[in-house]
Homo-oligomer: A and B are copies of this chain.
Amino acid sequence: MAQPVAQPIRKGARTRQRILERAAPVFNQRGYAGASMSALVEATGLEKGGIYNHFGSKDALALEAFDYAVSLVVRSFADAQRGSDGAVARLVAIIDAFGRSATRPLVPGGCPVMNTAIESADTHPALAERAYRAMLSWHRLIGSIVKAGKQSGELDPRTDAYDLATIVTATLEGALMLSNLMADPSHMERAMAHLTRHVESLRRQPTRRTRQKEPR
């Protein structure tokens, strides 16, 4: 029963990971319905039986491949924030990190969360749920940064965390779609500039001029 000592990664686990790494771009580019098992066979280099040994179904593989793809994006967010101090700097770092994916995608085929959200909304509840959770965690990430920024006094206390999360994610996802659709990264650049300006406008001002949600 004693587990083998010092053989940290079994061979099967490495194969499994390799399948995920190679399947994720296929799902991200072709979508769930458009990604055939034979395409996955080609991408992974394994035979169909080999894939089914690790994943019980195309469905299960798609869910894990999605999680894997999201984990790459999340990690890039974490890496981006590492060297940044302050709410504005961290938000800008996230905006930059996402914006870079327009020219250097982490997973080919665009943002996996948006792609999955678009395709699976009316067809695949399990995938749609995963996309929902991923997006929710991003909003919470932004929300926690805003909250910390307000507490530290960096951000205007009237700043609405929900507002900002919506504006940032919506604009970035939309701009990524535009850049890919029109094969022109300047859309993403404009969106990044716009968001950066917007985020910086949220700083607490010594003057009495309001910025956001001005009271009527």
Interface residues of A (CB under 8 A from B): 29-31, 33-34, 108-110, 114-115, 117-119, 121-123, 128, 131-132, 135-136, 162-163, 166-167, 169-175, 177-178, 180-182, 186-187, 190-191, 194
Contact A194 B163 (CB under 8 A): yes
Query: What's the dominant secondary structure at chain A's contact region?
Result: helix
User: How many identical subunits does the complex contain?
Assistant: 4
Question: Taking CB as reference atom, which chain B residue is nearest A187?
Answer: B166
Q: A34-B34, A173-B178 are in contact. List 16 more A-B contacts (CB 8 A).
A: A31-B123, A33-B34, A110-B121, A117-B181, A118-B118, A118-B119, A119-B119, A166-B175, A166-B187, A167-B190, A170-B173, A170-B174, A171-B174, A173-B174, A174-B174, A174-B177
6 A/B residue pairs, CB under 8 Å, sorted by A: A29-B122, A31-B33, A167-B190, A167-B191, A170-B177, A174-B174
